[in-house]
Amino acid sequence: MMRLPKGAKIASVAMGATFMLVAASSAQIGNGAQTIEGFPSSRSSAAAPVGPGKSRLPTTTPAVMPYESTGGSLPASQPAGAIGDSGVGSSAYGVSASYKWPYTIARVAVTGAPFNTTNGAIVPVASRPYRFAGKLWMRFGSDWFVCTASLVKKGVLITAAHCVHNYGQGQAGFADEVRWYPANYAAGGGPWGYYTAHSWRVPAPYVNGTDTCQSGANGVVCNNDIATVRLVPKNGAHAGTTLGGWYSYGWNGYSFLATPIFGNATVAAITQIGYPAAIDNGYQMLRGDSFGKYIAMTGANGKVLKNTQLGSAMTGGSSGGPWLVNFGTAPVVTGSASLGKAGTVGRNIVVGTTSWGYTSVGINVQGASWFGQNAEFPGAAYGSYGAGNIGKLMYDTCTAAPAYC
């Protein structure tokens, strides 16, 4: 059997085993594409990261990826879901005249000294649920780049594939080193320092350059620009144990709704978290809120390309940051009120990660690969980890290292 270079692995359905292009025995677990894991390289270590860092956010142009692309209807055969819940529930614009998509954006940190502490920069950045997101540093050769990532299991981050791999470059495309700074709020990081990545896993179609992508935006606007990162525990504890929790994730349009209010487009109210390098030097956690729109197009390979778009002023450095529905701490209904269909369950669900933006400044719209079933990952259930690309990615990550999940 051929030995994979640079420590990369292709996960099989057998727990803990790694084989080269193994055929799965279960139609639900193994149909569709596989995922590939990268590890720290054996190259000599470069200097530690120094901010603001280099962006890895891919960009395209309106001519290649029109923001008014045709919306799609969700297939009835692909029911939505999220870890920890079942069913679907949900409790500014750019200066370009043609690209006006409403959103809000602001620092998460408060202004001035808040009650009970003298450091407003860590409030509420270092509080739950914000602190489950953080700044991601990746070294490619001697250069350090910046992205964003968030915890979805006690020892597993979700981010964008382009943050940890150069599209289509195979085993050689993986990053050499990855670090995560939860609740980063200054040039020096945050209250918990940083966690070293043990390994990072990317869908095989992205690694080998066969993913479904938009014509003219190969490796930029694609079906599977998502990745997981396993974090080395510190002082015997996983990051999620130390931070007191993590986000969950959903698929196939969890919390999305086709409504006449938005012209029957399939939309969701989304909170975006990121560390854009062009704003506050990338040291401050930013929060954006907008409506996200499901987009279904035909990719360059003739297959269906699924993305989500939303209004956002974030830039490079926000790549890999979580797109969350039902974000925040659930309030308690004490009178005649309704929190909506989901109520107090299904909170803080990641349904995408920042994948791409437009090259021109002022077209304040960004995109994300759709979490769920697609041409490369058609499975409706990968074990108990969900459907499609996110289900397979999490299945491979957690069965390879159950202690991290």
Query: What was the pLDDT predicted at 338?
Result: 81
Spatial CA neighbour of 370 closest among 290, 268, 288, 289: 268
269 vs 293: CA distance, rounded Å:
9
DSSP 138: E
Kindly state the average pLDDT of the residues 227-254. 97
* 144-173: b (≥16 Cβ within 10 Å) or e: bbbbbbbbbbbbbbbbbbbbbbbbbebeeb
Task: Enumerate residues 6+ apart whose C-beta is below 8 A from 116.
Answer: none
What CATH number matches the domain at 5-328+342-404, 1.50.10.20, 2.40.10.120, 2.40.128.50, 3.40.50.280?
2.40.10.120
235 vs 7: CA distance, rounded Å:
25
Using CA atoms in the order 121, 123, 127, 128, what is the torsion angle rounded to 10 degrees?
A: -110
Interval 308-322: pLDDT, tens:
999 999 999 999 999
Query: What was the pLDDT predicted at 345?
Result: 67
Per-residue confidence band for 90, with pLDDT thresholds at 50, 70 and 90: very low
Interval 239-248: pLDDT, tens:
999 999 999 9
Tell me how far CA of residue 383 lies from CA of 40, 59, 203, 399, in angstroms. 28, 34, 17, 10
pLDDT at 19 over 80: no
Query: What was the pLDDT predicted at 88?
Result: 36
Query: What was the pLDDT predicted at 46?
Result: 67
Tell me how far CA of residue 249 lies from CA of 123, 159, 187, 354, in angstroms. 25, 12, 29, 14
Query: What was the pLDDT predicted at 93?
Result: 60
Asked if residue 399 lies in contact with residue 207, where contact means CB atoms within 8 angstroms, the answer is no
Query: What was the pLDDT predicted at 64?
Result: 86
Query: What was the pLDDT predicted at 96?
Result: 65
- Show me where the domains of the chain are located: 5-328+342-404
122 vs 240: CA distance, rounded Å:
18
Interval 296-310: pLDDT, tens:
999 999 999 999 999
- Mean per-residue pLDDT over the chain, rounded: 85
The proportion of the chain whose per-residue pLDDT surpasses 70, expressed as a percent, equals 82
Spatial CA neighbour of 200 closest among 226, 222, 181, 221: 226
Kindly state the average pLDDT of the residues 275-289. 95
Query: What was the pLDDT predicted at 150?
Result: 98
Q: What is the pTM of this model?
A: 0.83
- Per the DSSP assignment, residues forming a β-bridge with 101 are none
